[in-house]
Amino acid sequence: MLDIQDIRRQFPILERTVADGRPLIYLDNTATSQTPHRVVEAIVSGYEHTKANVHRGVHTLSQEATDLQEHTRRRVAEYIGAASHEEIIFTRGTTEAINLVAASFGASFPRGGEIILTVMEHHANIVPWQLLAARNGLEIKVVDIHDDGSLNLEQYRSLFSPRTVMATFCHVSNVLGTVNPVREMVAYAREQGVPTLVDGAQASPHMRINVQEIGCDFYAFSSHKMYGPTGVGILYGRKELLEQMPPYQGGGEMIGHVQLPSGTTFAEVPFKFEAGTPDFVGIGAFATALDFIEEIGLERIAAHEHELLLYAEQQLTSEIEGLRIFGTTPGKEPVISFLVRDVHPYDIGMLLDRLGVAVRTGHHCAQPLMERLGIPGTVRASFAVYNTRAEVDEFVKALKRVASMF
């Protein structure tokens, strides 16, 4: 059992009120989680005590800031089971990490090559590949889903051909909560000699990740969904591939030697892909967020979230007439996307907000999935370690009141 009240006390924002004094019930964790006080303190400490540019100074502050950033790099490598900390690249988020791979690794894809992705992808794992396809004359193949939200694995296998150059897919759907069988998908791609990228933005807060066991070539995720700072992302890449890839951006830090008019050489990985001044304060604080997760225990967090998910689904389906849940696969992550009869999701979300409940509405940056489902969007409630059964009860009570208005 978790001491949820003790955990909640570490998140001051959960004590605030909204909507004319109603206690905040925050159920938009899939978009971003809240941040515990200790992580905020780490950020403040970074700005007040160790702010100096990393890797560029011999003075004390620069060395301390560098140590904090590189500690996080090693911490992340350990957290996801990477073979080396040199396989960890800091970006501004999952989106930039995927763009980096598409622009750099994808630069070598031959004209006429095919990229496989799924209909459940976030736009961040669609648009970069579309841009690459338009530039380099590539074709995109799309894997469909079954009605319960599970991926059509038979179709996935059938789309591979001698022209396939990349397979990329989410670990967990941000709309459906579906957990894709990524090990199986990666293994099949590897048998075909096809590299893989896994979008782990929605998996990393809820499950244990081991990139070597998954076997993928690239894995991307974000700090802000894991109780950490915004503006910090992680790209894992197999070192031998990173060494072969050209730089994504040019500038300071990523160089070996600059010579005019030509002849510039580049730094070793991972620094080759980290041009300019990074958010070294946020990166340093991300290690504190990982400590927060590990101290509670990721498995215990997952069990609590899963219990909330099952309870919420049972309460919603029994109390709200005409409610439809999208994504019903066993073992899904703590996300509930739903509609109530023909009520527009925006109307539901706006009225829930007036009752103190924060949910997400719309297409959730997954318009192709919405088209596949034949709907304009959904209302999405998602859970984190600090949410409670009492909050679920208040959410269901509020939704029942909103539904009665239509």
Contacts of 108-112 with C-beta under 8 Å, sequence gap 24+, read 109/136, 109/138, 109/165, 109/166, 110/165, 111/136, 111/137, 111/138, 112/137, 112/138, 112/139, 112/163
d(CA 218, CA 98): 9
Q: Is 216 part of the annotated catalytic residue set?
A: no
Determine the Cα angle at 291 with ends 81 and 272, to 5°: 50
Which is it for strands 164-170 and 114-118: parallel, antiparallel or unpaired?
parallel
Measured in degrees and rounded to the nearest 5, phi and psi for residue 305 equal -65, -40
Kind plus residue range of the DSSP H or E element containing 296: helix 280-296
d(CA 356, CA 315): 19
What would the two tokens of residue 115 be?
A: 């990229």
Measured in degrees and rounded to the nearest 5, phi and psi for residue 57 equal -135, 150
User: 40, 52, 365, 375: which one is catalytic?
Assistant: 365
Q: Where do we find the tokens 């040019």?
A: 250
d(CA 396, CA 383): 14
Instruction: Give the residues across from 117 on adjacent strands.
Output: 142
d(CA 66, CA 204): 25
Angle between helices 127-136 and 94-104 (to 10 degrees): 20
DSSP 313-357: HHHHHHHSTTEEEE---TT--SEEEEEETT--HHHHHHHHHHTTE
Which one, of 367, 366, 381, lies nearest residue 323 by Cα? 381
d(CA 17, CA 25): 9
Which is it for strands 335-340 and 378-382: parallel, antiparallel or unpaired?
antiparallel
**What residues act catalytically?**
365
